Amino acid sequence: MAEDSATEKGGIRFNLEEIAGAVGDFGTIFPILLGVAIVCPDVNVSHFFLFLAAWFIIAGLYYRLPIPIEPMKAIGAIVIAEGLSGGEIVASGIAVGVLFLLLGLAGGMTWIGDRIPRSVIRGVQAGLALLLLRTSLGYIVDDALFAAFSIAIIVIFFIASERTRVPDVSALLVLLIGLAAGIAVQGMPPFRLIPLPALVIPTPADFIAGTWDLVLPQIPLTLANAILATSLLTYDLFPKKGVDPDRLSRTIGAMNLVSTPLGGFPMCHGAGGLAAMYRFGARTGGANIVAGLFILVFAVVFAPPEVLTLIPFGVFGALLVFVAIELGKHGIKTESYLVTGVIAVLALALGLTIAFIAGMALAYALEWWKKEQGAGQKPGA
């Protein structure tokens, strides 16, 4: 696919296409971060959005391409499903930051990515989808009317965006409608400035739990989707400016090491986000800068803790359903339904970490068995 002149020259532009592309990935960003803030009272959602906005802008200036910044989906889904502590979230961010910074500096991304079977990655995605669906059902049952209204809006925008170039801003729209409804019932919350971020030092127990519960399930998704698939897509869309996997790994490491100890949520890139931003018109880092400014306004105006009590739970239930469907769509694109299915079921029953380890063992066992079967069928064997 040919690059346009602005991209070829390495420029940053601001026009209607870039603005439309800027919001292309908001549909998964907002539900995950707001969902985490609801179940974890010891985190500050304003800081989540503040650091997300900052890194959107930094990535736009650094890459000069629409490279998205997203919350880490495995960590977000598990926190929402199990209600883990803020200390464990920070510990997981530090751990993944160190890991991916070192991998990027050492140039080992492709080698490691090749050792994780694709069916295992698909299984983690499918397991995340089931966990999010289970969580979303609780919100929907508690507020069925608003959930149905929100789902209807999301479906309308999804159909429109598939058939036209109208950007899917349904997540933003239903959040704003939910806020308006909450304000109408409860009144306007007091305005307050974002408190300055404070350093959070996790305990050894936080690191142990965060690594086991959050980091291990996140690693295959980050390797495959946030780094390898995103890098490949940049070469497809921008052949003269494709981004090397190790470079993406280094930025993921840096932004987590800087942000999570100060209250940010673990973040990465994403091939799906890049595809969404490009589809709606983003071609340069200008889209990232616009997205960062939008999110910054949200952090300042809409994200104080009181705002979370205004938004009907049906809104979160509806948004999480569609995040789960998006993950599930990718999960079924597997080369082994057995491996993927086992991981998905175990994730729901025993947790993603155990499911990931069992899936890796099963995938390698099946590969060994196929090789043995092939060797046994050779003439003279």
Residue 6: which pLDDT band, with cuts at 50, 70 and 90? Answer: low
Residue 175: which pLDDT band, with cuts at 50, 70 and 90? Answer: confident
Using an 8 Å Cβ cutoff, are 288 and 22 in contact? yes
Pick from 86-95, 182-191, 333-342: least confident = 182-191
The two three-digit tokens of residue 288, written as one number: 């990232």
Half-sphere exposure of 291 (CA within 13 A, CB side): 38
CA distance 284 to 362: 42
**More confidently predicted of 334 and 326:** 334
Q: Which of 172-186, 216-230, 358-372 has the highest mean pLDDT?
A: 358-372
For residue 8, the model assigns a pLDDT of: 56
Work out the burial of residue 204: count CB atoms within 10 Å of its CB; fewer than 13 is exposed, 13-18 middle, 19 or more buried: exposed
Residue 10: which pLDDT band, with cuts at 50, 70 and 90? Answer: low
User: pLDDT at residue 249 above 90?
Assistant: yes
Q: Determine the average pLDDT of the residues in 133-144.
A: 86
User: pLDDT at residue 367 above 80?
Assistant: yes
Q: Determine the average pLDDT of the residues in 364-368.
A: 94
For residue 328, the model assigns a pLDDT of: 82
Residue 1: which pLDDT band, with cuts at 50, 70 and 90? Answer: very low
For residue 375, the model assigns a pLDDT of: 72
**Residue (of 321, 266, 293, 313) closest to 43 by Cα position:** 266
For residue 223, the model assigns a pLDDT of: 87
Using an 8 Å Cβ cutoff, are 48 and 36 in contact? yes
Cβ partners under 8 Å of residue 107, min gap 6: 246
Tell me the DSSP string of 221-254: HIIIIIIIIHHHHHHHH-TTS---HHHHHHHHHH
The two three-digit tokens of residue 358, written as one number: 């069992």
The pLDDT mean for the chain works out to 86
**More confidently predicted of 339 and 5:** 339
Percent of the chain surpassing pLDDT 70? 94
CA distance 274 to 68: 6
Neighbours of 242 (CB within 10 A): 15
User: pLDDT at residue 380 above 60?
Assistant: no
Tell me the DSSP string of 159-203: HHHHHSS----HHHHHHHHHHHHHHHHH-PPPP-PPPPP------
Determine which helix (DSSP H) or strand (DSSP E) holds 268, and give its type and residue range: strand 267-268
Cβ partners under 8 Å of residue 184, min gap 6: none
Using an 8 Å Cβ cutoff, are 64 and 283 in contact? no
Q: Which residue has the tokens 């530090």?
A: 94
CA distance 280 to 197: 34
User: pLDDT at residue 210 above 60?
Assistant: yes
Residue 106: which pLDDT band, with cuts at 50, 70 and 90? Answer: very high
Could you tell me whether strands 70-71 and 267-268 are parallel, antiparallel, or unpaired per DSSP bridges?
antiparallel
Residue 164 per-residue DSSP state: S
For residue 63, the model assigns a pLDDT of: 95
Residue 9: which pLDDT band, with cuts at 50, 70 and 90? Answer: low
Pick from 125-139, 162-176, 246-260: least confident = 162-176
